[in-house]
Amino acid sequence: MPEYEYSLFLIPILFLIAFLYSSVGLGGGSSYTAMLAIFSVTSVAIPTISLTLNLFVTTIGSITFILNRHVRLNLLLPFLLSSIPLAYLGGSLHLPENIFLWILWASLIFVLIRIYFVEQINLKLDTNQQQRLIISIIAGMLLGFIAGAVGIGGGIYLIPLILVLGLGTAKEAAACGAIFVWVNSAVGLSARFVHQPIDLMHYLPLILAVIVGGLLGSYLGAKRYSARTIEKVLGLVVVIAVALLGKRLFADL
């Protein structure tokens, strides 16, 4: 199948995902990646498309957080500086499709654990400043690589980690997550355009659907449901992707 073929059903689905996630200040990279995998988009194209969609949606949230002065550079920089080279490395690697799918499958399982089994962030680790810095650097490296290689921005992991470490408030964590995803999406995309280029014009309908959905969701700010509720509902997309990808992967063993 040519790399640019995809089901037209993806257009309204991605629009809805972008609308719902952006309405509560989230990016939605895990759900974009999951849907692209479900609809059998090629492994070469999935990270590039997902990173592009992440970039557009988190641009809105990042600007909003910056204007409202929720961004703390001393909180953001350790994660960000350690993630950038790994995001570029992940984006530059030409992974065989089977290896890519295993990494994607494992990443989505961790997304499900985060969504359904971390109900409340009541845990607070007793760490000193040096330990928190080391954890921040290691987490930034790992999430940066996943962003570049798979297309999952990492905000879904980063925000609760900041709260568990007691590094910032919920607003500051959300601001850090949005900007982290934006920067790593940009870095991962730059690497993929150099090392694994695809013609994004073939996917323009998907990109436009997400831009419109993201703009409408951010503007309307549908706060009727909480961010956790939206995560759990759209986590069903990830559940389906994990099941289908798992069936495919284990059938090949």
Q: Is the dihedral of CA 147, 245, 11, 61 positive or negative?
A: negative
187 neighbors 148 (Cβ within 8 angstroms):
yes
Residue 194: count of CB within 10 angstroms of its CB: 11
The larger pLDDT score, comparing residue 183 to residue 26, is at 183
User: Residue 120's pLDDT is what?
Assistant: 55
For residues 175-181, average pLDDT: 88
The model's pLDDT over 139-176, given as tens digits with 9 standing for 90+, comes to 999 999 999 999 888 888 888 888 888 888 878 888 88
Q: 137 near 155, Cβ under 8 Å?
A: no
86-122: per-residue pLDDT in tens?
A: 999 999 988 888 899 899 999 999 888 888 877 555 5
Ramachandran angles phi, psi of 252, nearest 5°: -85, -5
Counting residues of the chain whose pLDDT is more than 90, the rounded percentage is 23
3-state secondary structure of 211: helix
For 18, half-sphere exposure in the C-beta direction (CA atoms, 13 angstrom radius) is 28
Domain ranges of the chain: 10-251
Residues in the chain: 253
**Model confidence at 1, in pLDDT bands (50, 70, 90)?**
very low
With contact defined as beta carbons under 8 Å apart, do 182 and 59 qualify? yes
Q: Classify 9 as helix, strand or coil.
A: coil
Rg, C-alpha atoms of the chain: 17
Query: Which pair of tokens denotes residue 162?
Result: 């900041």
Q: How many Cα atoms sit within 13 Å of 218 on the Cβ side?
A: 21
Q: Which two tokens stand for residue 23?
A: 């309405």
pTM tops 0.85, yes or no:
no
